Every structure is written in structure tokens, then in C-alpha cells.
Structure 1
Amino acid sequence: MTQQTFIITGAFLGMLAIILGAFGAHALKKLLSVEQLKSFETGVKYQMYHAIVLLLLGFNYTFSTSTMYWCFTIGILLFSFSIYGLVISDAKGKKLKVLGPITPIGGLLFVIGWANIIINAL
């Protein structure tokens, strides 16, 4: 994993969080219930939080590990994107229930990534 990989991935996922947040707030607002919109926003928030973590790790590269990179990157994909899929499919009346068990796996990867930061700091 290179420093550039951390920074580019973090910046791309952060940019995508802004785009998806705007999409949710404007285009989906009329299609989603309040509860669905709140779930969508949760996915966006967690995506942004962890994109920022990737950037910070990239700018402090000597502290970073490839385990951190993969935990946060795959965590975003599994956690946030499964929420996006669940919400949009539910709004269309065809909820993709198969995505439900994927969300906590992404959350677990976030926890492992954070634990790696703690371990690396010790």
C-alpha cells in the first residue's frame, strides 16, 4: 500500500460521499420515507468519517498499515453501500434482504481498523 493509495482512495470516497449525500437530500427525498432517508444518511456519514480516516492515515503514512487501509476501504463498501442498496431497493418495493447481513460485516471491519490504529499506537 502506498501513501498515494491511501490519499486517493480517501479523497475519492469522500467526494463520493458528498455526491451521494446531495443525491439523497435532493433526488431521493421525495422517494424515501423519513426512516429510509435517515438510514441513507447514516451510510453517507460513515462513508465520510472513514474516508477522512484514510486521508489522515495517508498524510501520516509512516503510521499506516495495509490492514488499516483494507479494513476501512472494504468496511465502507460493505457497510455504507449495503445500506444504500437496502434503502433504495426498499423504496422500490423489492428490498434486497441479502444485503442485511453484509452491513454488520462492514461495521466489524471498521472496528478492526480502529483496533489496528490503537495497536499500532501502542
Structure 2
Amino acid sequence: MDRYFWLRLGAISGAISVAMGAFGAHGLKKRYSNNPQKVASWNTAAHYQLIHSVVLCLLSFTPRTSPLTGYLLSTGITLFSGSIYLLVLTEWKLLGPVTPIGGLCLIASWISLAINNS
């Protein structure tokens, strides 16, 4: 795998998170002015995506890190933030259980980073 793969993936994810945050701050506030919880959920998803995108970028500069950490991070970002975005937009309740699975992947990625970098 190319050394800068995680940097590129994290940068793309970071750009998407900024766009999602901007959409939440402007587009969703008008659409869901009577439901601030949806806007708050959206903002949480964008915030978590941005934080974990930065960590994903940094993996390119930690050569001893296992690829598992990157896989867990990217899966966690997709499942956690992605499911929240879709829940807010579609209210498709079947996505509800996906969010905590994504959260577990994010937690596991931090543990993987600690274990595989020592």
C-alpha cells in the first residue's frame, strides 16, 4: 500500500466533513428549524468525521502503525457519521443500529493505534 494512502483518504474525508458541516449550519437549520435535535446530530457526525479524518491523515507519518488502524478508522467514519447523515435526511430507522457499530470501530481504532504503535 502506498505510504500516503491514508493521507489522501483522510484529506478527502476531511473535505467532505467540512462540506457536511457547512450544509448542517446553513441548509439544515432552515429545513429543520422546528427540530434542533436533527441539526445537533448532524453537527456531531460532521465533528467526529473531521477529528477522525485528521487522525487518518497522520497515519501516513507513523510507519509502525498497523493498517488495521486505518481500516478501523475509515470504517468507523463511514458507519458512524454516514449513518447519522442518512438518519437525519431519510429517517430510515434501520440505520439506527449501524451508528454504534461505527462508534465501536472508532474506539477500536484508537486502541489499535495505542497497541500497534508501542
Task: Give TM-score scaled by structure 1 length.
Answer: 0.90
Kept in 2, the 8 Å contact 1:10–1:53? The answer is yes
2:113 and 2:71 map into 1 onto residues whose CA distance is 13
Kept in 2, the 8 Å contact 1:57–1:63? The answer is no
Q: Which residue of 2 aligns with 1:97?
A: 93
Q: Which residue of 1 aligns with 2:107?
A: 111
AA aligned to 1:42 is T
Name the SS for the 1:3 alignment partner: coil
Structure 2: which 5+ runs fail to align? none
Aligned-residue offset at 1:4: 1.6
Aligned-residue offset at 1:3: 1.9
Q: Which residue of 2 aligns with 1:2?
A: 2
Q: Which residue of 1 aligns with 2:12?
A: 12
Deviating above 6 A after TM superposition, structure 1's stretches of 4 or more consecutive aligned residues are none
Task: Give TM-score scaled by structure 2 length.
Answer: 0.93
2:52 and 2:2 map into 1 onto residues whose CA distance is 18
Equivalenced residues, count? 116
Q: Could you report, residue by residue, the CA deviation over 1:30-83 in whole angstroms, capped at 9, with x for unpaired residues? A: 1122111000000001100110001111122x1322101110001000000100
Kept in 1, the 8 Å contact 2:65–2:117? The answer is no
1:3 and 1:37 map into 2 onto residues whose CA distance is 37
1:2 and 1:117 map into 2 onto residues whose CA distance is 19
AA aligned to 2:77 is I
The CA RMSD over aligned residues, in Å, is: 1.0
Q: Does 1:55 align with 2:51?
A: no
Kept in 2, the 8 Å contact 1:10–1:54? The answer is yes
2:3 and 2:24 map into 1 onto residues whose CA distance is 31
2:70 and 2:64 map into 1 onto residues whose CA distance is 12
1:50 and 1:59 map into 2 onto residues whose CA distance is 15
1:7 and 1:121 map into 2 onto residues whose CA distance is 17
